[in-house]
Amino acid sequence: MRPADRSRTLQRRSRYETFEERLALTAQPLSELSLGMEQQLQHHYSELAPAEVVNPIGDFQLESIVDERVSHHANTVNSSAGNVHDLTGVNYVFNNYGFSGQGQTVAIIDSGIAWDHIALGGGLGSGYRVVGGYDFAEGDANPYDDGPSGFHGTHVAGIVGSSDATHRGVASSVDLVGLRVFDDNGAGYFSLVENALQWVHDHRNDFENPITTVNLSLGTTWNSDSVPNWSTLEDEFAQLEKDGIFIAVSAGNSFSSYNTVGLSYPAASPYVVPVASVDSTGAISGFSQRSDRVLLAPGGNITSTIPDHVFGADGNPNDFGTASGTSMASPYVAGA
């Protein structure tokens, strides 16, 4: 059996670039992708390694103005939640006031959630922590974070709400909803994100605890404080704002490409709260896109939950990996 915290680096290929620095885990080059009329989305993060995993899924690469493919925004990771929570004051609030997110539900629009993970409740549906969701990539009600490319959504979900004593999330008692907009190979589209946002509006009061927050750790190649003219998500964002739902979005990981202030999209939307990454010293991460309206949160070397398949399934869904990126910073704010 493989220890959940063994220390080795895993390099995986993803169909998206990360919003953080573009490390080894970025997806296939866009030139190798057949995007047709849809635009590629990307996650904002870096590489992944057991309890010290990093996976880069980056900016959404715009290939057309019709529908963008989605990517995750992550980079590299290596720090324990305990240390991060001490720096931000989360541990103080939890220990002195007991605030743990109980009574609220956070929707994670991402690659899905490995809902069988012990730190995420070990099941799906009423009575579990992951109370529901939908897989828009495959068209069913099981939003599991499947391989070979899945892990990003589970990592994000753990930052929000892991109940593990060592790697505790910001809101360790919050309920979660998984909305899967990336397929098994890491491909996703803005059309699926749009459907997921509409789903949140339609189902926000379906659960014992209402959906109060949405996290989007994804984006596309963009660097501005203005919304691109090809955007298709603004109506949905406006509706969720009317619903009183808070939307946290990763700022993007491409500062080194632009070297000027600006945000990826959808972080540039006026209806959302963009989140940039800071390192362990509180300095803004070099890869992080930024703006005068961002919130700052830890996004470097963040250890969180990952699916059992990532390091070779052993039947024990209790693995953790480390990653970096604005993908990791956004759920920190969503959990708060």
CATH number where 230 lies: 3.40.50.200
Cα 70 to Cα 11: distance, rounded to the nearest angstrom: 20
Structure token digits, residue 284: 């803004």
Cα 167 to Cα 304: distance, rounded to the nearest angstrom: 6
* Given 80, 111, 277, 327, the catalytic residue: 327
* Given 59, 110, 135, 164, the catalytic residue: 110
Which of these, 69, 54, 57, lies nearest to 14 by C-alpha position? 57
CA neighbours within 13 Å on the CB side: how many for 173? 8
Q: Is residue 13 part of a domain?
A: no
Res 142: pLDDT: 98
Q: Is residue 90 part of a domain?
A: yes
Res 40: pLDDT: 60
Residue type, 235: D
* Given 117, 152, 155, 167, the catalytic residue: 152
Q: Is residue 96 part of a domain?
A: yes
Q: Is residue 213 part of a domain?
A: yes
Q: Is residue 11 part of a domain?
A: no
Q: Is residue 228 part of a domain?
A: yes
Q: Is 327 a catalytic residue?
A: yes
C-alpha distance from residue 74 to each of 29, 45, 47, 53, 155 (Å): 17, 1, 8, 11, 10
Report helix, strand or coil for 323.
Answer: strand
Give how many domains the chain has, as a whole number: 1
Instruction: State the residue range of the domain holding 316.
Output: 30-335
Q: Is residue 171 part of a domain?
A: yes
pLDDT one digit per residue (tens) for the chain, 336 residues = 333 333 333 333 233 333 333 222 222 222 222 222 345 677 776 655 555 333 333 333 322 223 444 555 554 434 555 678 877 888 888 888 888 999 999 999 999 999 999 999 999 999 999 999 999 999 999 999 999 999 999 999 999 999 999 999 999 999 999 999 999 988 888 999 999 999 999 999 999 999 999 999 999 989 999 999 989 999 999 999 999 999 999 999 999 999 999 999 999 999 999 999 999 889 999 999 999 999 999 998 899 999 999 988 899 999 999 889 999 999 999 998
Q: Is residue 14 part of a domain?
A: no
Cα 275 to Cα 295: distance, rounded to the nearest angstrom: 5
Query: Which residues, in sequence order, are bridge partners of residue 110?
Result: 180
